[in-house]
Structures are given as C-alpha cells and as structure tokens.
Amino acid sequence: MPQLFSADWMNELKDLWNNDPEVKDKLAAIGFNSIITCGLKGEAKPMGVFVVENGECVRAGDYNGESPDWDMRADRKDWMKWTKEPMGMVGLGTAYTFGKLKFLSGDYGAMLKNPAMAGPFVKSFALMAKIDTQ
C-alpha cells in the first residue's frame, strides 16, 4: 500500500488516468498539457508530480523542482478522506470555498467554467479513491 503522493502512489494514479477515457481522452480532445503537483498545506514544496501531455500522463513520481501549472494543497487528513470518499463537483466547490483545497498555482475558477476541464478534474479525484493509500 503506497504512501500518499509517493512515487508509487503517483504512478498508480498515472495508470488509472491513462486507462480512463473520461479523463485522458476528454483532455486529449482539448490538447491539455500541464505539470500538476500535489502536497500538503504549509509545506514549502509539493510531494508528487504528474506531467500531462495532450491528455496523457507521460511521467509521474516524486516532485523534483518542476514548475507546476497546477499545485494543489490540502491537509493530510483531508487528502486521506478524499482517497476514501471521492468528491463530486459540489464537494470540490465546498472544499475550495472553505479553504480545505488550495491552489498555489492554477486558476480553479477558470477551470470550473470550462466543462471540458472540470469533468476530468472531478473524475481524477474518483481515480485517487481507487488507490489503496496509507
């Protein structure tokens, strides 16, 4: 059972992402390219990195100084909760509004206004819940 945001965990997410047409194919259709990082609130740097080219995750693992387009942070207890019970669109909005989910990089509002991005973003949280996380 991999640790949250470890290289093993990030690579399990990569495999789930690339095998889910609701995520990979929908993002490929809009030419989505991004460096996504995840970590804990209050820490200087993220823990994991996820590199997406044309909708497909081409690399995932430990953060190594990459410049993120999206940097998501939350408390460990909240991340662990979301890996057990994935959030839907309403839950994401609530988590963002109440500061449980922070974006140090990336425009959350613009992403939500774009259905081609919002749907796969919500689905990515459901993928996280498929990983047996410690």
Report pLDDT digits (tens) over 9-19.
Answer: 999 999 999 99
Percent of the chain with pLDDT over 70: 100
* Distance, CA of 89 to CA of 36 (rounded, Å): 19
> pLDDT at residue 36 above 90?
yes
Q: What is the pLDDT of residue 112?
A: 80
Is the separation of the CB atoms in 5 and 36 below 8 Å? no
Q: Within a domain: residue 58?
A: yes
DSSP 92: H
The CATH number of the domain where 20 resides is what?
3.30.1050.10
* Amino acid present at 87: M
Q: Within a domain: residue 134?
A: no
**For strand 56-62 and strand 48-53, is the pairing parallel, antiparallel, or unpaired?**
antiparallel
Q: Within a domain: residue 1?
A: no
Q: Within a domain: residue 109?
A: yes
> pLDDT at residue 24 above 90?
yes
Percent of the chain with pLDDT over 90: 81
- Average confidence (pLDDT) over 35-57: 97
Domain count, the chain: 1
Q: Within a domain: residue 48?
A: yes
The residue segments making up the domain with residue 15 are: 7-128
Q: How confident is the model at residue 1 (pLDDT cuts 50, 70, 90)?
A: confident
Q: Within a domain: residue 133?
A: no
Is the separation of the CB atoms in 66 and 94 below 8 Å? no
With CA atoms as reference, report the closest residue to 108 among 123, 127, 93. 93
Per-residue pLDDT of 61-107, as tens digits, reads 999 999 999 999 999 999 999 999 888 888 888 998 999 999 999 98
Q: Within a domain: residue 15?
A: yes
With CA atoms as reference, report the closest residue to 38 among 82, 8, 72, 79. 72
